[in-house]
Amino acid sequence: MSPEYVFNQQRALLEELNGIVSEGQNLDTLDIDLLDSTEILTKINNEDQKVAEAVRLVIPEIAKAVDHIVTAFKQGGRLIYIGAGTSGRLGILDAVECAPTYSVSDQQVMGIIAGGETAFKKAVEGAEDSLTLGVEDLKAINLQAKDVVVGIAASGRTPYVRAAIDYAKSVGCTTVGVTCNPDSAVMKLPDIGICPVVGAEAVTGSTRMKSGTAQKLVLNMLSTASMIRTGKVYKNLMVDVNASNEKLHARAIRIVMQATDCTHQQGVDALAQAKQSAKLAILIILTGKDAAQAEQMLNQADGFLRKAVEL
């Protein structure tokens, strides 16, 4: 590449960044380098207060995405997050928590990051600028039309994410964009754009701060609401928790006790009958049925415990 070409490319990128909300300079924190620790943290916290309100304003769009994710799950489809840098890491973080929390396959909710697993810990040069890697990564998981693809990019301009969304649309997937820049490609390209506008960061361009927090909240809402809508929660209890370690086993006992007001021993006994399924143990206690009968009731209720209790 000639020096002139590189210069022109850099100038075009600078002009693009100048128009991105999350890349702006925050007038309320211009003195942050002069402050003591408490004053710095107060400034950061003042900015953080704006995040939840920005997310609240886009709940209608988040709800549309949840409806599509629920439909996908019912058809055997997947929720697939894809992003670069902090955005990609947040997608992976949300995805990996779904399996132990709700006893779903680790293939049902997946996170893909530009540059692969190595990029989770260390930046992979050039990965987010590639217009081919995002497509290749989606092809590698055999993307299907019944899947939902959520592209995540705070700036909304990331080439890796834009190309991934374009490819997902060509396959027939429902596509969702999560960004903090309303006038961006990641807002305009997908079927559903979710854009909590949190404004300029306390430290200019550090989108792992407010923008990252907003994205984390949105992803939590997408996965949690979708799991609730598919019967993974009774009242507000995680009744499909996978008791894969001592803490989660204790939590399963506690969930059974909270749902039924039973004793600790009754909870332990019911879990043993239910092969450690908290949902089934709760139904056994609440209905007095044996494990086989309770399982049949759950199946009739499509896995929704509240419906099974009312049968």
Distance, in Å, from the CA atom of 233 to the CA atom of 120, rounded to the nearest integer, reads 30
Distance, in Å, from the CA atom of 84 to the CA atom of 93, rounded to the nearest integer, reads 13
Selected catalytic residue, list 97, 136, 201, 310: 97
CA distances to 124, 167, 182 from 170, rounded to whole Å, are 27, 5, 23
Token pair recorded at residue 24? 């702006």
Distance, in Å, from the CA atom of 64 to the CA atom of 42, rounded to the nearest integer, reads 35
- 128 as an active site residue: the answer is yes
Q: Give the alpha-carbon dihedral of 164, 174, 16, 10, to 10 degrees.
A: 0
Residues 6+ apart with CB under 8 A from 282: 234, 239, 255, 256, 259, 260, 270, 305
Are 206 and 179 spatial neighbours (Cβ–Cβ below 8 Å)?
no
Beta-bridge partners for 193: 177
- 97 as an active site residue: the answer is yes
Distance, in Å, from the CA atom of 91 to the CA atom of 48, rounded to the nearest integer, reads 20
Q: Shortest CA distance to 183 belongs to which of 193, 169, 191?
A: 193
Quick count: other Cβ atoms within 10 Å of Cβ 42? 12
CA distances to 23, 104, 279, 310 from 227, rounded to whole Å, are 34, 9, 14, 21
Q: Give the alpha-carbon dihedral of 98, 260, 280, 65, to 10 degrees.
A: -30
Selected catalytic residue, list 23, 47, 61, 128: 128
Catalytic residue list? 97, 128
